[in-house]
Homo-oligomer: A and B are copies of this chain.
């Protein structure tokens, strides 16, 4: 199915299918929500709006739910107001939670009115948690039986509707506290009057609403179960975190990391309006400009030296680049370790020693290589010595910064995947330039 997508994009964008509503409708007919959502995200704004108009009204809500916020907001802004009542006709609390940040206040109110009283309660409860906690993502459809129930009752329960992603029955005591989980697959071979508790799984992880969404999601992915229970502080069963939500949360986490490295967020639209896109990116450019000016200011301290030894200016990018690359390698390793819970106060010292040794080895090797190249290029032995020392110094400093910058940011609750690289590069640029030009001033004038 994914293979057809580029063809359809081609037909719409290059061959003008958007101007032929009949063939467009035929191409979209029967395609699932994810396919259509991906198609819409791949289209420039104009054909995107044409395709959006052609999607059956009853499918529009599910397509919006599958999309990233930025491309979705363009569609929301261009949907006639009289369509919304029918789009929201079958909305559930989890749909509204997913769309919450994209909808203007009046549409949130309209959607909220379409929820029944149970769904309104779920919506209000989930809204109390930020979206990095699993309380925000609780699935409330589940199979529940009292702890003393027998297999017979479970089989009777299963004759009613079984929710999606549901491979287990949760047992609760009289006050609603979670006691055990029984896999549905175990019921087939069990005697009808056997107690369900006797079939319960051992060592089931339960989550609290405040638990970190990313860690909990990875636990669900690795559990071998379709979902794990969520309880409150009294162990009362609230719902469950299912594997589909868990996978979406993990994928979003990773996508955020990848996009953050360039100062963008994971909702960035391939075809967002120029003004919006330019604004989104301007902040990051501005921050980097400040750090670049800082580096320039330090270089400016050595204007006199640069004037006399112009080779220093020629070689400056080499010093900065080697420090930046070596530091970003350490940084990337530590950021991953922090995200996976593998970097802790207990092993920082051991990590730092190892990174310093790695930096030392690579520092010595590349410092010598660069020193020799610089010597032959400018036939100046002292210039070779100066750049050799500066590179060694900068690569070792980069290793230190690569360990400490993310750990300090993490302590300050700042995402090291977003801010780590800009701070690290500032450190390695300034250390590199000052070391190189400072040593140059000492030895070359």
Q: Which residues of A contact B (CB under 8 A)?
A: 1-2, 5-6, 9-14, 30, 32, 34, 38, 41-44, 155, 158-160, 162, 164-167, 184-185, 188-189, 203, 205, 215, 218-219, 221-222, 224, 226, 243-244, 247-248, 250-251, 254-255, 257-259, 261-264, 268, 270-271, 274-275, 277-278, 281-282, 284-286, 288-289, 291-293, 295-296, 299-300, 303, 306-307, 310-311, 313-318, 320-322, 325-326, 328-329, 331-333, 335-337, 340-347, 350-351, 354, 357-358, 361-362, 365-366, 369-370, 373, 429, 433
Contacts and interface: CB of A to CB of B under 8 A. Distances in A.
B284 A296 contact: no
Contact of A320 (B262, B317, B322, B362): B317
A181 to B, nearest CB: 15
A371 B333 CA distance: 38
A292 B322 contact: yes
A159 B10 CA distance: 50
A316 B318 contact: no
B166 A329 contact: no
19 contacts: A1-B205, A2-B215, A9-B347, A10-B345, A222-B244, A254-B255, A254-B257, A255-B336, A261-B328, A270-B343, A271-B354, A282-B362, A284-B325, A286-B366, A289-B369, A292-B321, A292-B322, A310-B313, A317-B433
A295 B12 CA distance: 42
A18 to B, nearest CB: 12
B270 A332 contact: no
A224 B244 contact: yes
A14 B349 CA distance: 10
Nearest to A158: B188
Q: How many copies does the complex hold?
A: 2
A7 B119 CA distance: 40
A411 B432 CA distance: 37
Contact of A365 (B222, B282, B369): B282
Nearest to A6: B344
Contacts of A277: 354, 358
Contact of A362 (B221, B268, B281, B299): B281
A167 B244 CA distance: 14
Contacts of A282: 362, 365-366
B281 A326 contact: yes
B336 A317 contact: no
A264 B333 contact: yes
A278 B10 contact: no
A288 B321 contact: yes
A288 B337 CA distance: 25
A389 B317 CA distance: 21
A248 B362 CA distance: 33
Contact of A342 (B164, B270, B318, B337): B270
A325 B268 contact: no
B205 A185 contact: no
A306 B310 contact: yes
A67 to B, nearest CB: 12
Given A44-B350, A257-B258, A270-B343, A165 B362 contact: no
